[in-house]
Chain A
Amino acid sequence: MARVIAVTSGKGGVGKTTTSAAFAAGLAKRGFKTVVVDFDVGLRNLDLIMGCERRVVYDLLNVIHNEGSLNQALIKDKRLDNLFILPASQTRDKDALTLEGVERVLDQLRERFEYIVCDSPAGIEKGAIAAMYYADDALVVTNPEVSSVRDSDRIVGMLGSKTSRAEKELEPVKEYLILTRYDPNRVESGEMLSADDVQEILAIPFLGVIPESQAVLEASNSGIPVTLDEESDAGSAYMDVVDRYLGEERPHRFMQAAKKGFFSRLFRV
């Protein structure tokens, strides 16, 4: 059974697209047939992060409006055989994204893929609703910072009420917290919310932290999902997150300050 995974956050700039690209590439690396879909109509960027911006011809909205086939719109990743990208339209209006059309495309994708990763736009408007509406699982991407946590809480509320699963009273969308741009040194000195703090407030299962890392900018500069750079801290943190999502046990890394390992252990999850 295919699973639809929404990558969402409410707030912009917290790392949804980075996470979508890294998570989808991570699933593909683990051998799953995966597609990552950009729902940010008008402001598409997933193609750029995935490094396939010059290969976009047809997009999600063309498929929804029968102006092109799914095969024409899907872009096969050049590095991973199992990975495909479905870009968003750069020119269309957000209103062209109908729930009925999204359902039709997702149903087609479910027949061909094991995981469908939906990269949500920021906000709580139409595009964000469309990205989460048919989700089975949701990755709630959050920064350890007040406005991001508050917006994530809002999104968690919407996942429980404004999704197909909620409206049909099916098993609820499974929510997972991913804390990005985490700096254990600042956490230890009391300047940054800890993973424990954020978990306590949001109260959803925790997949792990992604440390603040130079590798993320370098990966996006070159159009490579950061999980393809598994040597890097962010890349390996994302692979841990993927493996935990798949049900593997992985010890939490990148949550301890550089020194004083003993003291920071007190704050460990």
Chain B
Amino acid sequence: MRFLDFFRSSKQGTAAIAKERLQIIVAHERRKTGTPDFLPMLQQDILEVVRKYIHISEDQIKLSLDTSGDVEILELNISLAENDEEP
């Protein structure tokens, strides 16, 4: 959903493309370099807890740490398939 924001720029021309590409790659690279070591382990642990109750696969769970201003946001996304079958 957040990615939709990148397409809202009203400016014409290649500068808008440059900005959009930069925002995506910079956000991606910041996440990689700024990610604490424990995130993958935390993700694994949460996955196991959730699996006790719901059947989900590894790629249905997304954990990310973002900063906006002074606030750090730990975002956990678990997407559940409509029926239990794999897509």
- A interface residues with partner B (beta carbon < 8 Å): 145-146, 149-150, 153-154, 157, 187, 189-194, 197, 200-201
Contact = CB atoms under 8 A, between A and B. Distances in A.
Report whether over half of chain A's contact residues are helix, strand or loop; otherwise say mixed. helix
A194 B16 CA distance: 10
Contacts of B62: none
A18 B14 CA distance: 28
Given A146-B21, A157-B33, A157-B34, A201 B15 contact: no
A150 B15 contact: no
Interface residues of B, number: 17
Contacts of B22: 146, 149-150, 193, 201
Contact of B15 (A153, A193, A200): A193
Given A146-B21, A157-B34, A193-B19, A201 B14 contact: no
A238 B26 CA distance: 28
Interface in B1-43: 11-16, 18-19, 21-23, 25-26, 29-30, 33-34
Contacts of A189: 13
A150 B12 CA distance: 22
Report whether over half of chain B's contact residues are helix, strand or loop; otherwise say mixed. helix
B16 A190 contact: yes
B2 to A, nearest CB: 15
Counting chain A CB atoms within 10 Å of each CB, which of B21, B22, B25 scores highest? Answer: B22
Contacts of B16: 190
Contact of A190 (B12, B26, B29, B33): B12
A150 B22 CA distance: 7
13 contacts: A150-B25, A157-B30, A157-B33, A189-B13, A190-B11, A190-B12, A190-B13, A190-B14, A190-B15, A191-B14, A193-B15, A201-B23, A201-B26
Interface in B26-80: 26, 29-30, 33-34
B65 to A, nearest CB: 14
B15 A197 contact: yes
Nearest to A147: B22
Contacts of B21: 146
Contacts of A191: 13-15
Given A190-B16, A201-B19, A201-B22, A153 B11 contact: no
